[in-house]
Amino acid sequence: MGSTVKAYAITADAVAAERKRVNDDLEQVDIAKVVRLEDLDLRDVGPRDVRLRILAVSAEHNINHAALADTVNIAEARGGRMFPGNSALGEVVEVGTEVDKFKVGDIAITHCNGDPDRFGFPLRIWAYDMPESVGWYAEEAVVEEWQLLQAPLDCGLNLWEMAALPLRAPTAYHMWRRALGIFRVKVTREQLATVNVLGFGGGVSELFLMLAKSEGHNAYFCSGSPERRAALEEMGIVGIDQKEYNRFAERGDVSRFRNTVRDLTGGADMHIVCDMLRGPVFGAGLAVAARGGVNVSAGWQLSQVLEYNSALLSVKQITLDHTHYETLPGCAAATELYGRVFKPTIHEEIYPFEDLGRAFEEMHRNTQTGIPIIRVADELPDSVKHLT
């Protein structure tokens, strides 16, 4: 039988009301007024379904995009209401008659590949633009078995660190394998074994750089967060304080950053740039790209339309690559790297479920010291209590 649970929703009406309140000044939007707790009727568990009791979730930037409607009004496109949540860790509490990969009591993590194409890459993302999809910012959820992976409880990470990775790890894994693969089409390992890799911003960039460093490359993290820079510096990743360059608001800021990168790399510049924020850092990433370099970005950029000098990039052999998300085998491969390569930086506060909206508002204000985690379940199963 289906059941009714508490789950967070975003409605087109809430988006419109908040934008009206702030006169469309998106910097002033209070995300907590848009992401609201509602009742959700779960469907019955079908033969290939798994019912999860959600233990913890990670705050993801695409939810802020949905609440702000800054790129597309996805709540309106979804019929006026959507239940978000792309990343979660939960306990299996019921399985369908044909489920063979999970049993009651297992701990599972989600992925957000909502509609794989014939090559396995998603056409749409679960709990975002995938029609009828219901996300995991909820007390419980019912999903098909193929949407879950076994949580690697013995990987050496704690529960909150594992909860930070289901969306970010496959994204970083996909971006890294594409970026390095594209670069190697142009420059072989024999020509240049060790490459310089730059990442801007937050969680995905951190993991991207951890992959680069684990494979012996030079990694640089440009972030305004001293806590996050310090965490990566312990892994041998060089920190660059983004605030020193005024987030590249003016041409002079980019020039100063250009000089810093030239000094750090002995004039070689950056062979691979992970550019997650697009709008503020796009020009800076291109300015420091080495000849033959690759600039790779995930799909949820702040700017949908970009301007660049195509003739200059052509002469320099620069490649811009837009990625979205991994295949299902790629998600499984990324999960194997939990703890060995991926060691995420977690925000100092673990938010209670009732404060999920505040977690997103503080993400919007960029005040967090790491990836924000929301604890959903008050009582944890015995199998994971030691991981907190």
| pLDDT-flagged residues of the chain (< 70) | 1-2, 276-279, 298-304
- Asked whether residue 231 falls in the same domain as residue 317, the answer is yes
Q: How far is residue 173's CA from residue 162's CA, in Å, rounded to a whole number? A: 15
- Asked whether residue 106 falls in the same domain as residue 174, the answer is no
- Asked whether residue 10 falls in the same domain as residue 155, the answer is yes
333 inside domain = no
Alpha helix segments (H runs only) across 336-374: 356-364
Cβ–Cβ < 8 Å for 387, 158: yes
pLDDT of residue 179: 96
pLDDT of residue 97: 97
56 inside domain = yes
- Which range of residues forms the domain containing residue 287? 170-322
- Asked whether residue 174 falls in the same domain as residue 148, the answer is no
- Among candidates 97, 101, 205, 83, which has minimal Cα distance to 140? 83
Q: What is the DSSP letter of 57?
A: E
283 inside domain = yes
Rounded to the nearest integer, the mean pLDDT of the chain is 92
The residue type found at 162 is: M
> Judging by DSSP bridges, how do beta strands 81-82 and 4-11 pair with one another?
antiparallel
The residue type found at 382 is: D
- Asked whether residue 183 falls in the same domain as residue 258, the answer is yes
- Asked whether residue 181 falls in the same domain as residue 144, the answer is no
pLDDT in tens, 352-371: 999 999 999 998 888 999 99
pLDDT of residue 241: 94
122 inside domain = yes
Of 273, 290, 322, which marks where a domain is finished?
A: 322
- Asked whether residue 147 falls in the same domain as residue 9, the answer is yes
- Asked whether residue 40 falls in the same domain as residue 84, the answer is yes
Beta-bridged to residue 38, according to DSSP, are 7
223 inside domain = yes
Q: How far is residue 114's CA from residue 107's CA, in Å, rounded to a whole number? A: 21
CATH code, domain carrying 31: 3.90.180.10
What is the rounded radius of gyration, in angstroms, for the C-alpha atoms of the chain?
Answer: 21
pLDDT of residue 308: 81
- Asked whether residue 108 falls in the same domain as residue 232, the answer is no
Residue 141 buriedness (CB in 10 A; 0-12 / 13-18 / 19+): buried
- Asked whether residue 204 falls in the same domain as residue 281, the answer is yes
- Asked whether residue 67 falls in the same domain as residue 33, the answer is yes
Residue 251 buriedness (CB in 10 A; 0-12 / 13-18 / 19+): exposed
- Asked whether residue 129 falls in the same domain as residue 196, the answer is no
Q: What is the DSSP letter of 44?
A: P
pTM, two decimals, is 0.93
256 inside domain = yes
pLDDT of residue 276: 62
pLDDT of residue 294: 96
CATH code, domain carrying 194: 3.40.50.720
Number of domains in the chain: 2
334 inside domain = no
329 inside domain = no
